[in-house]
Chains A and B, each alone.
Chain A
Amino acid sequence: MRETEDRLRALMLRGMGGDAAAHSELLRDLAVLVRAFYGRRLGSGAADLEDLVQETLIAIHTRRITYRPGEPLTPWVFAIARYKLIDHFRRRGRRITEPLEAALFVTEAGGQEASAAASDLERLLAQLPEKQRSAIRSVKLAGLSVTEAAAASGQSESAIKVSVHRGLRSLAARVRRSADRAD
């Protein structure tokens, strides 16, 4: 992961210097990264997956002046991808609480950060009751719709919604508490 970050950062800097070939290579690599990011959350067969990937590449290209040379590149890329994903959900009418969603969408930058964040997330989820945990995994992490999650688990749609809502509230409270302690 670290060498990916270094390689991508070097390509980005060369692209910002005007090197079109480096910029193309960067966009191709970022397309792969971003496609995997959305694939994990929308399901890799999702109809608008590639549209979303292209939208994100356009955003990365058009707004590249917001990348500060010298700072990590992959967090910048994934912050854009998260924003585009939340916007995608918003346009399709799903209710989102942005800060919490941002916390739950695990940062993918750098192997150490990713596995630390992933294990943080696992630890938090493990503290929830099974019903809330599996509802959150299905709807929020695997990206199933409420209908699909209800069908898969044999519960009613409103039961799923209640589980997700309570589980997220509980997670938010735990994250806030541990953040307060960490400060």
Chain B
Amino acid sequence: MTIVPSETGQSVDGRGSNARGQSYVLEAIGASVIVLAAVVFALQATAVTPLSVSTANQHIQTQERVTADTVLEHAARNGTLQGAVLHWNPDNRTFWDASAEGYLGRHPDNGFGQVLNRTFGRSNVATNVHVVSVGPSGTSNTQMIYQGIPSESAVTATHTLVLLDEDNLTAPGYEQHTLNESNATDSFYVRDTMTNHSVYTVVEVRLTVWRK
């Protein structure tokens, strides 16, 4: 073993310096690996953040579903929902002042449509409304309002109504027309599913809402 004096005057062992240097490098590498692993773990562990699309969507969806439920409940309580279901032109076999596919891109000009306008018209929320019924010939799904294809975050609220034989249509000029009379001429979009009793049928109004 050759002892070579260092510039500082201290004697240095060459092989020992080499070994210490290697251990220093290994320690540095080990430290950096641990720090890197910790950073990667930290980034992977935060699965849910305020910026996460799923969390923001969930809150918005819940809010929209509650709003849609409230709109339907309010309309059912004041009779405008039933009025909208019966806002039918038996001669044209369409909803009043609507196309064969319902009200396209707009809300009907009745109490229910006004509620939809007030609630969703100004908040950039689109709505589709369908009237569904199940009878002897299967399920019938009648489109009342169509404003587009719902997005993935769309929510649907439903409300069930009973229609009676003696209920009158609400379309202008047809207020004396009962469902019984419409059924006799097959001019209403749902048939009488409970003949010989006062109940005409049961329908479900489905309101789908989503942000445009």
Q: Please determine whether chains A and B interact with each other in the same assembly.
A: no
The interface of chain B, by Cβ under 8 A from chain A, is none
The interface of chain A, by Cβ under 8 A from chain B, is none
